[in-house]
Amino acid sequence: MTTILLADHDPKVRSAMRLLLEQQPQCGQIIELESSDGLVDKALEHRAKIVILEWELPGVTTNAQLITQLRREIENVKIVSISGRERVGQLAMALGANAFINKSDSPDKLLDCVQKCCGDHSAEGGA
């Protein structure tokens, strides 16, 4: 089972994503956050394997800092950046995100992305 940290400022978006993810057999615990405050600590505490991170996430830490810190502190973490702005995708990927999902994409894209991330962990002996 894979622990997922889900960070988005909008409780409706988090609720919808949680509902979708909870139906997937490979998804275990889902931790929700509404800001960047304490995100890396929570990811470490719960041994998150996937971090789904809204690009416009409020808080004191920027996404660039979060991605860098997650990469440095959590081995093999998969980072999925989400935004309503398509051009953010290239920047997120350049900073080290594994994937980008536009908020207007179908729910299937999120599920495919999570399944690929879980598959990567299975191959590494994680998950």
In tens, the pLDDT along 56-114 reads 899 878 888 899 999 999 989 999 999 988 888 889 999 999 999 998 888 888 888 88
Q: Which domains does the chain have, with CATH numbers?
A: 2-120 (3.40.50.2300)
User: φ and ψ at 27, to 5 degrees?
Assistant: -90, 125
In tens, the pLDDT along 30-53 reads 999 999 999 999 999 999 999 999
